[in-house]
Structure 1
Amino acid sequence: MASITRRGPFQFQAIVRRKGYPTQTKTFETRNEAEAWSRSIESKIDVNQFRDRRELEMLTLGDLLQRYLKEVTPTKRGAVQEGNRIKQLLEHPLALRPLSTLRASDFASYRNERLENHRANTVRLELALLSHLYTIAIREWSLPLEHELKKVSRPKADPGRERRLQPGELARLLAAIKQQDGSAGPALTACIELALETGMRAGELLSLEWCQVDLASAVLYLDMTKNGTSRLVPLSEKAEQVLASLPRNGRRVFPNFYDTSGLDRVFKRACNVAGIEGLHFHDLRHESASQRAPHVTPQTLAKLYGWKSLQMAMRYYNPLLSELHAAIGRTSPLTPY
């Protein structure tokens, strides 16, 4: 039976003692609140549903993020990117809050705050990370949490990019790279040419090793891709020539770039020199897919680019108006890039 003790004006301390369970204590402003809480605790004990939540008062969201960063993040292919998201979250005041105080409304406020200065997809990825953190904490770390993130709406995904190379942009970009000093120039040129010929992602290019390159059979063997499967990348004659021209200094084909962020920075700098705006390295994958799409079936296109659904093939196929004119038999010339 719970005991209720009046400890002063508007202070009623409820104590629940039950053999085999830790003593539960909480103070309320009214006796009715204290009694209601006591009955709730006792009823949960009676049906073996009681969970001691005091542990949540000693742990902060930052503590959980640190553990997740150490135990879970290293097992993921996108460990570097997720690590950066966690570091950003650790700098937010929310990370200092005890887990016992966090509610869905706190995460909704965080979402709204971030949306003021960041893209919807960035915020979606952060909420997805927090949601998985809660899932792991509940299922594997046995913390008595409620999954507050399941109650928070996520922003709608950003519309897919449709940026294509415009006439003359590729020539200007390659010329700008040649003008720049540094050893990364030839490697950047090779990455651009291979991205256009094969449609490979930046991460796939930078993780590529020479043991995966078979020039005799004109194919690359990708052991693990973004969607979790391996795939073969057939090489065009130009792609084969690009790879054959590269020096074999070490295990990796492109040792010049540590990660995709480094490649993106060098690519952006070359675009600035060339006077090209709004072009990202990943847009080259769209360009490659859009060039291939009119000549193969959607199923073949999905196989070539490693997509699990035909919906992704439609997302990456961004035809130019001149290409659509050609598709209906109009005789206007195609716009080359």
Structure 2
Amino acid sequence: MATIRKRGPYQWEAQVRRRGYPAQSKTFSTKAEAEAWANMIESEMARGVWVSRSEAESTTLFEALERYQDEISSSKKGAAQEASIIKMCKAVDLAKRPLATIRSSDLARLRDEWLRDYSAATALRRLSLLSHVFSIARKEWGMESLSNPVELVRKPQPNNARARRLVSVDLAAEIMSLDDAESDRGARDGELERIAAASGSKLLPSIIWLAVETAMRRGEIASLQWEYVDLRRRVAHLPATKNGTARDVPLSPRAVAVLAGMRDEQQGSKGGFADVSDTVPRGRVFAIRSDAVTRAFERAVTRARKVYLDECKEGGRRPDARFLTDLRFHDLRHEATSRLASIFPMHELTKITGHKDPRMLMRYYHPRAEDLAKKLG
């Protein structure tokens, strides 16, 4: 039986007691709201569908995000990246409210605010994290009555598919428009050659060439262990990848040469590429973090672009706006996949790149129209 009583001049308290259920009480600003809530609770108890809302009503989104970071996010491979998303979500005003009071309209307004300042992909990542927080709270934290309001929110469509192909040596020569055959050979280098030459890191050139030869991800290269590299068989084993599946990556002659050079340098030997049967050192191939690879690559691109602009100024040429601009380290994986696609059929290419869904693989395959035209004869 429900009991409605006045508490002070502006509040009404509703209490519901029923055998077999814990007593429930809640305070409202009007008597009508208190009666409506009590009737709903009594109806649910009578039908045997009542579940406690107390935890969902007392736990704020901020508290749920902190618990999610400690219990769920900390065990993920991308915990560091997800921590920044959690930090942004904890900073919004909506984080102060209890989970049970958050509606899809609240999240729709938050989505629109994010879209004004950030890309659709960024807003989508934040919404995806919030959706998982609500799902975990309902499934594992005993908040069975909690719905997931993110499911009702219209998701922005990210336009993050990239078709950036690296400029090769031949195309670079056309861009530079060199008429003097005696000009410096370096002026006709492609983008990769220029970036590697401009790098201030001893490791980055080797990482660049390994990435474009194997289509390995940045994190896979940074965490590559010598014990999983077999130069004789020309295979690099990746026991832990982004999608959770181990795979073997075939190594091209150039990739083997890069790794053999790294081996000889770490061993202090001069065995060279010819002898790949020597014992290899232990530990990581590249003593560098993934984020440091990105920063080193960005600095090298900036320096290479400046050198290119200086050359154009000295030679009286107009610089190409696309050359050494809008480049990311992940573009090396795009480039490698497009190159490998001309060699391997799709079912073999998925084994090399680690894509489980061929549709995702197609996002990385961007053949040049002139290359396809050559196949027509």
8 Å contact kept, 2:119–2:158:
no
Report the Cα offset of residue 140 of structure 1.
0.7
8 Å contact kept, 1:16–1:25:
no
8 Å contact kept, 1:233–1:304:
yes
8 Å contact kept, 2:165–2:366:
yes
8 Å contact kept, 2:13–2:25:
no
Report the Cα offset of residue 117 of structure 1.
1.8
8 Å contact kept, 1:10–1:30:
no
Encode CA deviations 1:30-89: one digit per residue, 9 max, x unaligned: 44x433322111011123322332333432111111111111112222222112211222
User: 2:239 aligned with 1:214, yes or no?
Assistant: no
Name which of 317, 334, 347 aligns with 1:286.
334
Q: CA RMSD in A?
A: 1.9
Report the Cα offset of residue 141 of structure 1.
0.8
The aligned residue for residue 314 of structure 1 is 362
Q: Which amino acid aligns with 2:248?
A: L
8 Å contact kept, 2:115–2:123:
yes
Moved more, 70-79 or 306-315: 306-315
8 Å contact kept, 1:14–1:38:
yes
- Which structure 2 segments of 5+ residues have no match? 173-189, 267-280, 306-323
Report the Cα offset of residue 137 of structure 1.
0.8
Larger radius of gyration: 2
Encode CA deviations 1:167-222: one digit per residue, 9 max, x unaligned: 32122112211xx3xxxx12111110000110100011111111111112110111
Structure 1 23/316 Cα, relative in aligned 2: closer, same or farther at 3 Å?
closer
CA distance, structure 1, for counterparts of residue 14 and residue 55 of structure 2:
19
CA distance, structure 1, for counterparts of residue 84 and residue 282 of structure 2:
28
Encode CA deviations 1:219-253: one digit per residue, 9 max, x unaligned: 01111212221111011111011011114476111
The aligned residue for residue 96 of structure 2 is 96
- Which structure 1 segments of 5+ residues have no match? 330-337
Structure 1 238/7 Cα, relative in aligned 2: closer, same or farther at 3 Å?
closer
CA distance, structure 2, for counterparts of residue 34 and residue 44 of structure 1:
16
Name which of 165, 190, 195 aligns with 1:173.
195
Report SS of the residue matched to 1:316.
coil
Report SS of the residue matched to 1:186.
coil
Structure 1 164/124 Cα, relative in aligned 2: closer, same or farther at 3 Å?
same
Report the Cα offset of residue 9 of structure 1.
6.8
8 Å contact kept, 2:227–2:282:
no
The aligned residue for residue 345 of structure 2 is 297
Correspondence 1:37-76 to 2 at 5 A: 37-76=37-76
CA distance, structure 1, for counterparts of residue 242 and residue 80 of structure 2:
14
CA distance, structure 1, for counterparts of residue 84 and residue 349 of structure 2:
33
Encode CA deviations 1:75-122: one digit per residue, 9 max, x unaligned: 222222112211222222222222232111111111111111212112
CA distance, structure 1, for counterparts of residue 9 and residue 141 of structure 2:
40
Moved more, 148-157 or 202-211: 148-157
The aligned residue for residue 291 of structure 2 is 261
CA distance, structure 1, for counterparts of residue 8 and residue 135 of structure 2:
41
The aligned residue for residue 334 of structure 1 is none
Report the Cα offset of residue 12 of structure 1.
4.4
CA distance, structure 1, for counterparts of residue 333 and residue 13 of structure 2:
64
Q: Which amino acid aligns with 2:103?
A: R
